[in-house]
Amino acid sequence: QCTDKKVNEITPLLFARASTPQDMVKLSVEEIREIIRPCGLSPMKSKGIHGLSRMILEEHGGEVPADMAALEAMPGVGHKTASVVMVQAFGVPAFPVDTHIHRLAWRWTLSTGK
C-alpha cells in the first residue's frame, strides 16, 4: 500500500502524462506501472487504472458514473473507493469505511459487521 505523502508525490506525475480517461488509455499498462511503482502493488493497480479508464469511455460516455453499483463494477474499485468518489465528486452524503474501521466497529458492537 502507500502513504498519503507518497500518493501526493506520484499523482502529479501520473496526471502530467494522462489526466483524463481518454489520455490514460493511450498509455500502456506498463507505462502506468512504472509511474506508480513507488506506491506498491503497481502491477495490479496499473491494470485497474487502465481498465477502469477504458470502462469509463466505453460504458459511461467518458464520464465517471454517479452510481455506487457502476463504480464498484470497475476494475480495482471497491466499496470504500466508490464511497469516496460519491462523496468527493458528487456530494452524496456517505461515510467511507476501510477494513480496519469496519473490524473495530464490529468488535466494539457498534455495527453488525455487514
Distance, in Å, from the CA atom of 73 to the CA atom of 3, rounded to the nearest integer, reads: 25
The packing angle between helices 29-36 and 4-17, to 10°, is: 140
Residues identified as active-site:
80, 98
- C-alpha torsion angle, residues 66, 39, 16, 30 (rounded to 10): -90
* Backbone angle region of 2, left / alpha / beta, with phi > 0 → left and psi within -120 to 50 → alpha: beta
CB 53 within 8 A of CB 21: yes
